Chain A
Amino acid sequence: EAGVVQSPRYKIIEKKQPVAFWCNPISGHNTLYWYLQNLGQGPELLIRYENEEAVDDSQLPKDRFSAERLKGVDSTLKIQPAELGDSAVYLCASTFDPGSGELFFGEGSRLTVL
C-alpha cells in the first residue's frame, strides 16, 4: 500500500514568489494534516481536514497561507507571497482514526526562500 505522497520534495524560490505543495494521503484516510517543521523543532500543526472540511485552521497564517482539499482526497497548501521565515519543511500526514494520534507522515517538502 502506498504511503502519504508529497511533492515537490525540494523547492527554492525568491521571497515574494508564490509556492504550492501537494499531498496525496493514504487511501481511505479521511483526516489529513499539514504540519510545519522548522530546523531543530518538532512539527507544528497548520491545518486539519476531515474529508473536505477544514476543522482546525487556527494556526494557519491566513494572510499568506491557504489550503484546500476540494474532493476530500488530495490537498494543496499554498504560500503567497513567501517570506524568508517560511523556509522550513512542510509535512503532510493522514490517519483513519484521528482520536488515536497514530499519524502517517509523508517525506515532507523542504522550502528554501532566498
Chain B
Amino acid sequence: GQQLNQSPQSMFIQEGEDVSMNCTSSSIFNTWLWYKQDPGEGPVLLIALYKAGELTSNGRLTAQFGITRKDSFLNISASIPSDVGIYFCAGNSGYALNFGKGTSLLVTP
C-alpha cells in the first residue's frame, strides 16, 4: 500500500497543553481518517474527513483534510491524561485503509 508519513513519532506533554500531529502521503486519498489505539485494544475512529480543505471537529479534536489531498493534521486542545495512546492517520484508497506508523502521545498530570 501507499506509504503514509506520520509525525512526530512520539510526544510527551503536560496536561492542558495543545497537541498537533500530521500525516503526509505521496499519493492522493479521497478520505482521510484519524484513529486512536489504547494499549491492548483495537484502533477506534476519532474523525473522518471526506472533502479536500474540510475542517472537522469532535469535542477537543480538530482535523483537516489538506487541499492537495496528500496530507492531514490532527489537533487536540487542552489535553487530559486519558488522551494517552497511539494516534494513527489513515488514507482510504478505495475500499481499504492505509495506515501511518502512529504518533505515541504521553500526557503527564
Contact A93–B42 (Cβ < 8 Å): yes
Contact B101–A101 (Cβ < 8 Å): no
Contact B88–A42 (Cβ < 8 Å): yes
Decide yes or no: A101 and B42 within 8 Å by CB, A45-B97, A48-B95 being known contacts. no
Decide yes or no: A42 and B42 within 8 Å by CB, A56-B95, A101-B92 being known contacts. no
**B100 CB to nearest A CB, Å:** 5
Please tell me if B40 contacts chain A, counting CB pairs below 8 Å.
yes
Interface centre among B1, B45, B95 (most CB of A within 10 A): B95
Q: How far is the CA of A41 from the CA of B96 in the complex (A)?
A: 17
Chain B, residue nearest A31 (CB): B95
Q: How far is the CA of A33 from the CA of B99 in the complex (A)?
A: 14
Q: Which of A13-21, A69-77, A78-86, A104-112 contacts B (4 or more CB under 8 A)?
A: A104-112
The contact string, 1 if C-beta is below 8 Å from chain A, for chain B 29-61, is 001010000001111110010000000000000
User: Sorted from nearest, which 5 A-B pairs have the closest CB atoms?
Assistant: A105-B42, A42-B99, A101-B92, A98-B95, A101-B31
Q: Which residues does A use to contact B, with CB under 8 Å? A: 4, 31, 33, 40-45, 48, 55-56, 59, 91, 93, 98-108
